[in-house]
Structures are given as C-alpha cells and as structure tokens.
Structure 1
Amino acid sequence: MERRRLPARSPPVTVSTRRPRTRVSCDSDRARRVRARDRTMGGEASADLESRWIREQVRERLFGEAEPVSVGRYALRAPLGRGGMATVYAATDPVLEREVAVKILHPRDAHDARRLLREGRALAAIAHPNVVAVHDAGVDGDCPYLVMEKVEGQTLDAYRRAQPDALWDVLDAVLGAGSGLAAAHGRGLVHRDVKPQNILVDARGVARLSDFGLTGAEPSGAPSTGTSVRLTVTGALLGTPAYMSPEQLDGLPADPRSDQFALCVTLYECVCGARPFDGETPAAIRAAIAAGAPDAPEDAPSWLLDLIARGLREDPEERYPSVDALLSAIAARRESVRKTEHAMLSIDRLSRAFADRAEDPERLLSRVATCREELRDALADWPDNPEAQDVDARLAALGAAIEREHDPTVGDGYKAVWGAVIAVLWVAAYAAFAWGDASGAWPIDNRELTVFFGVFLALNLFVTYGPGREIHRENDPGRKLSLITTAAYAGDLLAAAVGWALDADVAMTLASVHVVAGAIWGAAAIGVDRRVAVLSVVTALGGAVMALFPAWCFEIAAVVATLGIGGFAYAMRPRKRDLS
C-alpha cells in the first residue's frame, strides 16, 4: 500500500558564507527506517534531525567546524524545549537576518502535520501582543514545522520564582496571557494546554501565550520537576492533567471555558504558591476537583481568590461566560482595591494635617471630598468592598471633625444662653449702679468699676474653661471667640484701672471701657465671626454717647447691654442647617 505524502514545499532559499548546508532529507533510506522505528515506538519523526544536530555539535567541538542543520531556510542552532509532540529549536532566518524559534512536529500521521499547519494559520491571524507571533509554516520532506518569534525571557514559572514578592507583576503577566487567550478564543481557537510553562515573559514583563515550552533563559529545555503530574499526555487527553478542566479529564471536548479553568488554576498557583487541585494521576486530580478547592493561605488576597473560585467551578455553566468577563471582573476589583489603598494612605496624611493644624481647613475639606469621590468610584467598581466602606466611614468622621473644628456655628446654643445670661447680669448691674448713683445711697467711682469688670473677667474665665471647655477645645472659631471675649473683659478691666489710677471721671472711664470693648469685638467680627458685629457697633456707639451725655452713662450702659449683648445672644441662636 502506497504511503500518503504531503506535498513538498518549494525549494528553500540557501544563504551561506560557509560550506553548503546539509539539508535533512526525510526521503533517505535512513530517514525511512527512522520513521518506521518511530511510528512503532509512538512517533518521533524528527529523530534523524536531532541526531544529525547532535553529531554536528560534536564535530564542531572536536574539529572547530560543522555543517549547518536546517529545516526549510532556517538554520537550527540549539533546542529550546521538547514535549511529547514537538521539539522547539532556536534558529536563524538568513534571509531576514533575525532569530526565530522553529517548532518541529513529531508526527504520528498526516493528520498531525495538517493540524500543525492549521494551527499556524490560525495563530498568524490573531496578531495579538500577548500571543507568540507566527512567521512561517511549512513541510520539509515529511517534517512539518512552524516558525515563530523567539521570546528572550523565561516561563511564568521561572518568572514567579525569580521574584516571589512581586505578586502584582506576576499577575499582570498572567492577565496579559489571558488577554491573548481571549483573542485566540475570538478566532475560534481553543488552547487546551494553558499552564505556566506555556506563558512566556520577556525582559519587560510582557507575557505571551505559547503552545510549547519556549524557554529562552533555559536552553537546556529540561522539564520542570516536582512530585505532581506535569508531563503532557498525548492520546485521549490533550493537555496537562494538573491544569485540565474536569470535562477534559472526563474525556469530553474542550471549549473556551476549559481554557478559562486552566487559566484560573494558573492564577491560583501564582497567588497561593500551589495549585488548587493536585494528584499523581489524572484520576486523582479529577477527584480533587470534585472535592473542591482547599483553603487558601490567610495572606492571599481574598477578593482575588473569590473571583478565581468562580472560574474553577466544576460545572462549566457556572464559570464566567468568557475569559474576557473574567479579566474584566479582576480588573474592576483590582482598580477598586487600588483606589481604596490610595484613600487609606490619604486619610493618614489628612489626619496628621488636621491634628497638626498644618493646613487650611477649607483645603482639608476639599481633599477629604476628593478622597471620598475616589472611594465612590471604588465602590462602583466593587459595591461590597469592605475596606472601601470602612475608609469611607473614617473619611466621613474626619470631615465632620474638621467641620466641627472650623464651623463658627458650633456651640451656638451655648453661646446664645451665655450671652443672654451676661446681658441680664449687665443690665441688672448697670440699673443698680444708676439707682445707687442717682439716689446717693451707693455712689459709684472708678474703684467699684474696676472691681466690677474684674469680677466679670473671672466669671468669663470660669465659664470658658468650665462649661464651655469642649467648644474651646474642639472648635477653632469658638476658641478664638473665647480668647477675644477674655481680651474684651481684660480691656474693660485695664481701662477701669487706668481711670482709677488717673482719678478720671466715672462717665469718661465707662465710655472709654465701651470704646475699647467695641474695638476688640470689631476685630472679632472681622477675623472670627461676623455675627458679633452687632455687639461691636452697639458697644462702640454706646461709649461715644456716654461721652456726650455723661450724666446718663449708667442708663446708656444698660441700654447698650440690652441691645449689644442681647443682639449677640439672638445672633448666636441655634438654627437648622442644610446638611445635604
């Protein structure tokens, strides 16, 4: 029976500055014997090619020269990796003068060769930055081959081991490969063997999905070691059992959700340092999947593991509808976590600035509002983000504290009551002074005025640092108003003491007291709370009127107390605020 033969490709372009290259002819008698032996053993059609490459390497070491071994126009240099179905060589394209990787199949039959060429055509159509690019494909004699870009880097496994603390860099690589996988799915391709050894990471950290173990940093191509199943099974199971979906292990056809499962196994391994389902045999791995994923390490990001867990569901219908949906979910939560972490750093800085009084309150409140807006975005990306909810509550409390610290309306009720009490006391005192002076029963001089203002200064200090201490301590305008009130009473006392010392007229002393107090309250109206302007104006005008009508000084002082301090108490009355 005549053996079927694939059509030979056109004669290769031969570019060499040395002796003519020795091409591997799979039509030679020796090659036919090798192929017959290989088919008996299970299929390695490139055995002759490998033995010739080894022989030429030995020849070069012994004699300093060797004949280039080539497939098509590509001169093979060294093996990069070997699997159950193919061997990958580093090679040189002499026409375009670039380094490439050549995958040479170990065909068992013509179907394997056609599948390799179909794969090459499909991958060439993807043109995605996270998929290894295909440059050429062909058949040299009976040797099918695929020419791909040579990635100078390492597998994801090696990349992860090289930087154990760079979790996000490793995850970026996996997610990049996932983007390439989604692009392949978009072209109707199912990878069937997604695993760390098939994800290549270059020196820039850019990952590419590959269908072979291309390890530029490990030219020996030695397979990974370990106690678990890692070798690719050929035959009924196409893929690596340790990363296979349950439907693949059950012998069912693979689809994009199967690749999603394998990608999630890879993600889990990168996050936790071990695969979720392990076993020495495919049957043991299948049983582990049925039993469910083990408990993850406590330091692993729970939000990420929750997303991965859905992609690891035993039932394909319960997984994400696509790899794109998985990647979008991870990206959204990751962005939410990033914004939350930024807000956590911000709240620490804002709290310190507030505690140190190192920043303008309006600017602080603006920064708090900006931070809360970012958190709203974080909660939009992930509404159940517990850390974002906690930070938002802390920011709300900080904003309330800043407002309380700098809101002049804080303590209005206390101020209104105390103002009313002072107004009553002053009116009563001045009425008593007016009666005593008019009747002659109690003549008032500067000494009595000095004692009177000293008593009110002491009373003010008691109230300020007694019942009003919380306002004085926690509210900046309240603290300033307390200090200005104390300064006004101290000014009254000083003016009275000066009048006593100079033996001035009582009416002039009282007038000067009111002018001084009015000036101090005016400063308070300008710098602290404009609502005390009524007290400033009435007090200062009262002092001027007293100077004009000294005989009525105590009566005028009673009116000033009624209008000025009473007006202050009215202005400080509590009012409803729009908190929207």
Structure 2
Amino acid sequence: MNPVITQLTFHLGEEIGGEGLNSKTYMAHDPQLDATIVVKAMTKFSFNDQLEYFNESKMLYSSRHPNIMVINYACEDDDHVYLSMPYYAKGSLNSLLNRKYLTVREIIKYSLDFLSGLHYIHTKSLIHFDVKPTNIIINDSNRALITDFGLSKYSDDDGFASFDKAYRRHYVPEAFVTTDHTSQYDIYQAGLTLYRMCNGNDDFNTQCMDLSRESISNGTFPARDRFLPHIPNGLRRCIKKALEVNPDKRYQTVIELMNAVSAVNENLDWTYTKNDDVEKWSFDSEKTIDYLTLQFVGDKWVTKGEKYSKKTNKPSNITKYNAKYESKDDAYKQIAKLLKEK
C-alpha cells in the first residue's frame, strides 16, 4: 500500500488531567471535525524506540468496548506523539471525587462500568498498570470509561508482564519484590480506586502524606478499617479482598470482583456531605427527607436527627439519632448501625 502524507491541524487549549508521567492532556479544537476534543501529547524522548510511538493508540483501537475510551486518531510532529479522543464535559472520576462524595449506588454503578472495561482488556491479554480515578472518564451518558493505556503491556503466554513506570500513590505491594506481574496488579489498583470512591479524595490525600514502602508492603496503606459510616460491610469486604497484600488472596479475576460488588444492596441512597466541621447524611424518600448530623461540640461528638416533611414543609426530631460520644470512632460505629436500619 502506498503511504499518503496528510496535514492534520488542531488547536490546543487548556491543560487538563495533571497526573501524566511523560505526557500532558489538553482540551483542543479540531477544525476538520469542528469539534472540541481531548488531545494527549507525549514527548518522543519518553519512548525507548520509535516503534513504540503508536503502541497506545493501537491498544485503544484494538480494545473497543462500551466502557473503554474511543480513540479518534493518532499523529505526530517532530517532538510529540498525539492521541485524539472525545471530550466529555463530566470529566474524570477524579474530578467528580474532588467535587462530591458518592452514594453507594453511584459507587456500584461507576465501579461496574470501569471494571467491565478492565475485564475486557484482560481478555485481550493486556494489563493496564495504571488504574486510578484520573484514568476513568464519565461520558455524556453517565457511563464510566477506562482510558490511558500509556503504561499498558501485553502479557506473555504465562500471563506475566513488566511495567516501565508506576504511579506512586497506586503502587502495588508485590512490585517491591518482583518485576513480573499478572492481572492481579490491576485488581489491586481497582480496589484502591474503589476505596477512594468510598472515602473521598481528601481522606486519601491525607493518608498519602505518610505513604511509604513499608506502609504499602505491610498493608497499613490505605487504612483498611477506615470507611465512612454509610459504606456497607459488603462493599468494605470487597475492597479489603481486592487490596490483599498477597496477590493469591485477592479476587483472581475482575469478574469475581464485579460479582461481589454487584451483590451489595445496603445503604444505597444515603447522601453524605461535609461542610467545615459538620458532617451530614441525608435520605430522600417520597414523602420525607431524613437528616443525621455529626459535629464536635465542647468535648463530645454530637449527633442529631431531623425528619423533614415534604407535605407540611416542617421538620420533626428523630430522637434515636440524638446522642453524644467520647470519640469520633464511637460515633461512626453507631451511625453505621442507624443508617443500616433505614
């Protein structure tokens, strides 16, 4: 076949993303399509060989799936390789976590979405090696898509592959002792992503301040016993198993993890918010909205309950929610029991 040399133009705009190791991601305008797109720009010096320039674009194209980001095209100039993808206004899962806390129903929905895409690439003998909220995009249909195959590798006949680089906050325990990895690497990172979806980015960022090789290797990062009260035990168990330090104790396939997550059916619609020093859980039903608040007052942790009637527009006291506790942990334990009763 005869090669055809063409000219392709796009105009780079605002940089988005921010966690790429050797790349930058931009919003851009494509005059050929008259569309806003996303462009990932990778410096050529970051590649070991020019034959690797379009590995990521080939992986994306060959892994087409409803829960994997579509690639429009790939191209190059003297200094960079560019990947063009659709722009979705909802942004990444990471940006969503920076804006709000998710309900359990949202956690399950988005998890099953991106895990479906992850399972598919595993059937193609691909290991992603970079599963994290920044690399999960929410499209215009509110579906979570896994993206960024920049670190992905095809596994050998025995299911092993080695990565070139790693994101420190999602480092996997076994990576300290071996360079040969299986899909268990992705399952651990998926568990860590679910953990962040449950507890929010603020808590995760705080824990990262004490991140070390030791804390990852001994399983104290992230804190497996640290969950917000509305996260049900079933979902906590899923995450703890995915985060087992020993890969043999984790879910052996993404399908197993998906089945466990899909079985969670408690506390689906409690909404959690945190404003300054007040934490609030709310449950919106057909006729009423229940509120439970937690605040440190004096030397006690104080919970209060209120039921708001949509018909009368008047609040009433929920006596069983009103209590005082010596510690936040004690308050959280009781709140978890109260929320489960709803």
Question: Please, what TM-score do these two structures have when normalized by structure 2?
Answer: 0.64
Residue in structure 2 matched with residue 127 of structure 1 by the alignment: 64
Q: CA deviation at 1:335?
A: 5.4
Of residues 147, 159, 183 in structure 1, which corresponds to 2:84? Answer: 147
AA aligned to 1:295 is D
Of residues 5, 12, 16 in structure 2, which corresponds to 1:80? Answer: 16
Q: 1:253 to 1:241 in 2, by over 3 A?
A: farther
Cα deviation code 1:399-436 (max 9, x no counterpart): xxxxxxxxxxxxxxxxxxxxxxxxxxxxxxxxxxxxxx
Residue in structure 2 matched with residue 247 of structure 1 by the alignment: 174
Q: CA deviation at 1:283?
A: 1.6
Cα deviation code 1:283-342 (max 9, x no counterpart): 2442452688432334421011112211111111211121122102221x225998xxxx
Q: CA deviation at 1:119?
A: 1.5
- Which structure is richer in relative contact order (CA contacts within 8 A, separation 6 or more)? 2
Answering whether residue 205 of structure 2 is matched by residue 296 of structure 1, we say: no
AA aligned to 2:125 is G
Whole-angstrom distance in 2 between the partners of 1:255 and 1:115? 22
Cα deviation code 1:69-123 (max 9, x no counterpart): xxx4333233223433011122233323332222111232552654341121111
Matched residue of 2:41: which SS?
Answer: strand
Of residues 260, 283, 286 in structure 1, which corresponds to 2:213? Answer: 283
Of residues 12, 21, 24 in structure 1, which corresponds to 2:6? Answer: 12
Q: 1:261 to 1:112 in 2, by over 3 A?
A: farther
Matched residue of 2:36: which SS?
Answer: strand
Residue in structure 2 matched with residue 329 of structure 1 by the alignment: 260
AA aligned to 1:201 is I
AA aligned to 2:90 is G
Whole-angstrom distance in 2 between the partners of 1:89 and 1:112? 25
Q: CA deviation at 1:197?
A: 1.6
User: Contact (CA 8 Å) 2:94, 2:133: kept in 1 or not?
Assistant: yes
Whole-angstrom distance in 1 between the partners of 2:213 and 2:105? 33
Of residues 101, 104, 116 in structure 2, which corresponds to 1:179? Answer: 116
Whole-angstrom distance in 2 between the partners of 1:166 and 1:337? 8
Matched residue of 1:239: which SS?
Answer: coil
Whole-angstrom distance in 2 between the partners of 1:286 and 1:334? 27
Whole-angstrom distance in 2 between the partners of 1:155 and 1:291? 24
Q: 1:73 to 1:11 in 2, by over 3 A?
A: farther
AA aligned to 1:300 is I
Matched residue of 1:76: which SS?
Answer: strand
Residue in structure 2 matched with residue 232 of structure 1 by the alignment: none
Whole-angstrom distance in 2 between the partners of 1:167 and 1:246? 27
Matched residue of 1:127: which SS?
Answer: coil
Matched residue of 2:44: which SS?
Answer: coil
User: Contact (CA 8 Å) 2:130, 2:166: kept in 1 or not?
Assistant: yes
Whole-angstrom distance in 2 between the partners of 1:167 and 1:112? 44
Q: CA deviation at 1:242?
A: 1.8
AA aligned to 1:74 is F
Whole-angstrom distance in 2 between the partners of 1:251 and 1:108? 27
Residue in structure 2 matched with residue 227 of structure 1 by the alignment: none
Whole-angstrom distance in 2 between the partners of 1:286 and 1:265? 11
Q: 1:129 to 1:144 in 2, by over 3 A?
A: same
User: Contact (CA 8 Å) 1:260, 1:311: kept in 2 or not?
Assistant: yes
Whole-angstrom distance in 2 between the partners of 1:292 and 1:257? 17
Residue in structure 1 matched with residue 250 of structure 2 by the alignment: 319
Q: 1:292 to 1:161 in 2, by over 3 A?
A: closer
User: Contact (CA 8 Å) 1:130, 1:179: kept in 2 or not?
Assistant: yes
User: Contact (CA 8 Å) 1:132, 1:148: kept in 2 or not?
Assistant: yes
Answering whether residue 192 of structure 2 is matched by residue 270 of structure 1, we say: no
Whole-angstrom distance in 1 between the partners of 2:235 and 2:251? 14
Q: 1:165 to 1:320 in 2, by over 3 A?
A: closer
AA aligned to 2:118 is L
Which structure dedicates a bigger proportion of its chain to helix?
1
Q: 1:254 to 1:290 in 2, by over 3 A?
A: farther
Q: 1:150 to 1:285 in 2, by over 3 A?
A: farther
AA aligned to 1:167 is V
Whole-angstrom distance in 2 between the partners of 1:162 and 1:291? 24
AA aligned to 1:308 is I
Identity %: 24
Matched residue of 2:48: which SS?
Answer: helix
Whole-angstrom distance in 1 between the partners of 2:196 and 2:120? 23
Residue in structure 2 matched with residue 211 of structure 1 by the alignment: 148
Residue in structure 1 matched with residue 305 of structure 2 by the alignment: none
Matched residue of 1:134: which SS?
Answer: coil
Count the aligned residue pairs: 253
Answering whether residue 137 of structure 2 is matched by residue 200 of structure 1, we say: yes
User: Contact (CA 8 Å) 1:129, 1:180: kept in 2 or not?
Assistant: yes
AA aligned to 1:135 is N
Which structure dedicates a bigger proportion of its chain to strand?
2
**Alignment gaps of 5+ in structure 2:** 151-162, 269-284, 286-336
Q: 1:296 to 1:172 in 2, by over 3 A?
A: same
Q: 1:204 to 1:197 in 2, by over 3 A?
A: same
- Higher Rg: 1
Cα deviation code 1:204-223 (max 9, x no counterpart): 4221112289xxxxxxxxxx
